[in-house]
Amino acid sequence: MSGTGEKATIIDANNLILGRMASIVAKRLLNGERVVIVNAEKAVISGKRLSVIQQSKRFLEVGHYRKGPLHPRRPDNIVKKVVRGMLPRKKPHGIDALKRLKVYIGIPTEFENLEKETIEEADAKKLRGSYVTVSEVARSIGWKG
Residue 85, pLDDT score: 97
Residue 55 covered by a domain: yes
Residue 65, pLDDT score: 87
Residue 92 covered by a domain: yes
Residue 4 covered by a domain: no
Question: How far is 43 from 24, CA to CA, in rounded Å?
Answer: 14
Domain count, the chain: 1
Residue 1 covered by a domain: no
Judge if the upstream peptide bond of residue 69 is cis by omega within 30 degrees of 0: yes
What CATH number does residue 117 fall under? 3.90.1180.10
Residue 6, pLDDT score: 73
Supply the DSSP string of 77-130, one letter for each residue: HHHHHHHHTTS-TTSHHHHHHHHTEEE-SS--GGGTTS--B--GGGBGGG--S-
Domain of 102, in residue numbers = 9-140
Q: Is the pLDDT of residue 103 over 80?
A: yes
Residue 5, pLDDT score: 55
Phi and psi based region of residue 41 (left: phi greater than 0; alpha: psi -120 to 50; beta: remaining): alpha
Residue 89 covered by a domain: yes
Question: How far is 106 from 76, CA to CA, in rounded Å?
Answer: 9
Q: pLDDT tens digits, residue range 115-139?
A: 999 999 999 999 999 999 999 999 9
Residue 145 covered by a domain: no
pTM for the full predicted model = 0.93
Q: pLDDT tens digits, residue range 82-98?
A: 999 999 999 999 999 99
Q: Is the pLDDT of residue 34 over 90?
A: yes
Q: Is the pLDDT of residue 2 over 90?
A: no
Residue 56 covered by a domain: yes
Query: How many CB atoms neighbour CB 134 within 10 A?
Result: 24
Residue 81, pLDDT score: 97
Residue 4, pLDDT score: 53
Q: Contact at 8 Å (CB) between 38 and 44?
A: no
Question: How far is 80 from 74, CA to CA, in rounded Å?
Answer: 10
Residue 7, pLDDT score: 86
Residue 90 covered by a domain: yes
Q: pLDDT tens digits, residue range 38-71?
A: 999 999 999 999 999 999 999 999 999 899 999 9
Would you call 51 helix, strand, or coil by DSSP? helix
